[in-house]
């Protein structure tokens, strides 16, 4: 006797483990639910060490009356930090297959980041870049290995692009030797030339074939790194305030700086994340400009933390800087951050002249706060908070007007 009932499908059982070694092929640009991996998050966190070291050295240079040299050294070393992060992030967006070789090579790159971080102080104080170059060499050899591995499974224009990336990365690494072997007066020029050549590598490599980076994934990666930099700013300022309180108990002088610093950081976060920027990244040309411009966003955000430390030291008498100079250490990077976010991010989503002017006018007002003495940081924070409030209000009015217009439009 046969049963007319359909047998139940077999249980799928536990998920089968993926192969430890997979082909390194390009991922789809339209892949759904693409988010940052735990390995990428670990990679980002290791950069906190390097960013913190750069900030400490910037504080020391500004606090001892050498702001020009300090800013130049900071710009050079922060470029190295940012570019190493950027190289990995864009490659991972296009080719991350999360197999064992990919993980091992990425961990080697993380080791290079830590060597780079260990050399930051020498780069600032003695202008000796050997440790920085060695850290970079570790990262770049690992990065070239990833590109060559991708080239093995690629064909045609894609293979040509991956090989161009691998060769460009290695050739530029040789060029950076100029920072080690040439005399100190020539090193800023070496940096300038090599920075330009580094940024030309992706443009040359993708001339005939765009890598399949994922817009939403890239936007998320940059957003997460922005949070990390802002978090380092809060951490640096907190340590500075705690140290000053332990030594001087000067709460009256420190509370305005702490309050203003928090308002600046909270406003910086709000302004950056208020727009869904991934929808704007529709081509490599536009995305490259957006990605390169983030050097200013990341560097200025980290410099805000250094500026807050300088202001704390000046407030308790541990620095010989004037109140105006210490305030400028906060207001200048804050204004640069606001202008950079507006140019790269916000202006693409603003409607009308009033919305477009909020951030540029805020940057100008923040610069004016420089001359308010001991209350400059608090005033700058209040100005930034007012900009957020103004932006929210103007956006709400625009939304209400659009809804009212839609409601009054007769149905077709």
The tens digit of pLDDT for each residue in 253-283 reads: 788 888 899 999 999 999 998 877 766 676 6
Residue ranges of domains in the chain: 38-212, 216-405
Output the pLDDT for position 292.
92
pLDDT the model gives residue 70: 86
Q: Check residue 33 and give left, alpha or beta (phi > 0: left; psi -120 to 50: alpha).
A: left
Question: What is the total residue count of the chain?
Answer: 412
Please report the pLDDT score of residue 391 as a whole number. Answer: 83
Other beta carbons less than 10 A from residue 84's beta carbon: 22
Q: State the sign of the Cα–Cα–Cα–Cα dihedral 381, 386, 391, 396.
A: positive
Q: Which fold has domain 216-405?
A: I/LWEQ domain (1.20.1410)
3-state SS class at 146: helix
- DSSP H helical ranges for 64-99: 67-95
Mean pLDDT per 10-residue segment, the chain (412 residues)? 41 54 83 87 89 88 84 90 92 90 94 91 85 93 94 90 95 93 88 93 89 88 92 84 72 83 92 77 75 93 91 82 89 95 79 82 95 91 93 76 66 50
CA 277 from chain center: how many Å?
15
Token pair recorded at residue 324: 């105006």
Query: Cα–Cα distance between 168 and 246 in angstroms, integer?
Result: 50
SS3 label, residue 250: coil
| Strands, E assignment, 56-180 | none
Question: Which residues contact residue 356 at a Cβ distance below 8 angstroms, ignoring those fewer than 6 apart?
Answer: 347, 350
How much is the pLDDT for 381?
A: 94
Q: How many CA atoms lie within 13 A of 121 on its CB side?
A: 7
Q: Nearest-CA neighbor of 385 among 268, 236, 306?
A: 268
Residue 410 confidence (pLDDT) = 58
What is the distance in angstroms between the CA of the first residue and the CA of the last residue of the chain? 64
Separation of alpha carbons 152 and 162, rounded Å: 9
Angle at 93 between CA 106 and CA 36, to 5 degrees: 75
Give the pLDDT score at 1: 36
pLDDT at 248: 66
Closest CA to 327 of 314, 344, 340, 336: 314
Per-residue tokens: 1? 């006797």
Q: What is the DSSP letter of 322?
A: -
Cα separation, 319 vs 299, whole angstroms: 23
Instruction: Report which of 172, 173, 174, 154 is spatially closest to residue 163, judged by C-alpha positions.
Output: 154
H-helix or E-strand spanning residue 208: none
Q: According to the model, what pLDDT value does residue 250 have?
A: 66
How far is Cα of residue 190 from the mean position of the Cα atoms in its chain?
24
320 C-beta neighbours (distance < 10 Å), count: 11
What pTM was computed for the model? 0.88
Distance from C-alpha of 146 to C-alpha of 108, rounded to nearest angstrom: 11
Query: What is the reported pLDDT for 6?
Result: 44
Closest C-alpha to 61, from 48, 73, 78:
73
Tokens 């933390």 -> residue? 305
Closest CA to 298 of 336, 342, 346: 336
* Residue keyed to tokens 């443009």: 203
Rg (CA), the chain: 24
Residues ≥6 apart with Cβ < 8 Å to 61: 67, 69, 70, 71, 73, 74, 124
């Amino acid at each position: 006797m046969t049963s007319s009932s359909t047998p139940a499908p077999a249980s799928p059982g536990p998920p089968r483990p993926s192969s430890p070694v997979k082909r390194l092929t390009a991922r789809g640009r339209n892949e759904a639910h693409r988010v940052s991996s735990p390995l990428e998050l670990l990679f980002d966190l290791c950069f906190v060490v390097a960013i913190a070291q750069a900030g400490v050295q910037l504080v020391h240079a500004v606090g001892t009356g050498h702001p020009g040299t300090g800013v130049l050294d900071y710009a050079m070393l922060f470029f190295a930090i940012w570019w190493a992060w950027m190289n990995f992030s864009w490659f991972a967006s296009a080719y991350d297959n999360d197999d064992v070789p990919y993980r091992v090579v990425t961990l080697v790159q993380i080791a290079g980041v830590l060597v780079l971080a260990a050399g930051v102080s020498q780069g600032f104080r003695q202008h000796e870049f050997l440790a920085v170059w060695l850290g970079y060499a570790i990262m770049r050899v690992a990065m070239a290995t990833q590109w060559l591995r991708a080239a093995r499974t690629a064909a045609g224009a894609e293979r040509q692009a991956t090989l161009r990336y691998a060769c460009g990365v290695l050739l530029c690494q040789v060029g950076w030797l100029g920072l080690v072997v040439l005399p100190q007066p020539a090193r800023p020029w070496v940096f300038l030339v090599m920075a330009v050549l580094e940024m030309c590598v992706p443009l040359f490599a993708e001339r005939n074939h765009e890598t399949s980076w994922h817009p939403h994934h890239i936007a998320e990666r940059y957003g997460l790194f922005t949070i990390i930099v802002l978090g380092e700013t809060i951490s640096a300022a907190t340590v500075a305030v705690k140290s000053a309180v332990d030594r001087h108990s000067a709460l009256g002088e420190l509370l305005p700086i702490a309050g203003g610093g928090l308002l600046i950081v909270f406003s910086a976060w709000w302004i950056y994340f208020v727009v869904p920027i991934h929808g704007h990244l529709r081509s490599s040309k536009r995305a490259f400009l957006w990605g390169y411009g983030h050097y200013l966003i990341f560097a200025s955000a980290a410099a805000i933390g250094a500026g807050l430390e300088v202001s704390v030291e000046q407030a308790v008498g541990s620095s010989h800087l004037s109140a105006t100079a210490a305030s400028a250490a906060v207001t200048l990077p804050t204004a640069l951050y606001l202008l950079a976010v507006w140019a790269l991010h916000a202006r693409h989503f603003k409607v009308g002249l009033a919305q477009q002017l909020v951030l540029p006018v805020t940057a100008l007002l923040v610069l004016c706060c420089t001359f308010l003495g001991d209350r400059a940081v608090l005033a700058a924070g209040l100005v930034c908070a007012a900009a957020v409030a103004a932006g929210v209000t103007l956006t709400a009015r625009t939304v209400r007007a659009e809804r009212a217009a839609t409601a009054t439009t007769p149905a077709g």
